[in-house]
Structure 1
């Protein structure tokens, strides 16, 4: 039985700190196909919305 390795996207939903570590590692090693681009792009957008709504 093959054990399924969690993807960066599933890590994002379960362990945010681990997701950051994995994302930084993949970016540093220039392994761009393994980067969770959807959440990487979405994250600053969510922070900007939160800051704007609190002011």
Structure 2
């Protein structure tokens, strides 16, 4: 089993975890039929996805 030689410092640990942060850059799109905003690859609150009615 691999065992580390010495303890990783807080700085090195932080550098490793730098890509794990959450981002608030969410892309909002407008639905063509309803004109409402929705997330990319998600349906609107009305049940439309790519201009087609998915839910009744």
- TM-score, normalised on structure 1? 0.23
Structure ID, larger Rg:
2
Identify the structure with the greater strand proportion. Answer: 2
Larger helix share, 1 or 2: 1
If asked which structure has higher relative contact order (CA below 8 Å, sep 6+), I would say 1
Query: TM-score, length-normalised on structure 2?
Result: 0.23
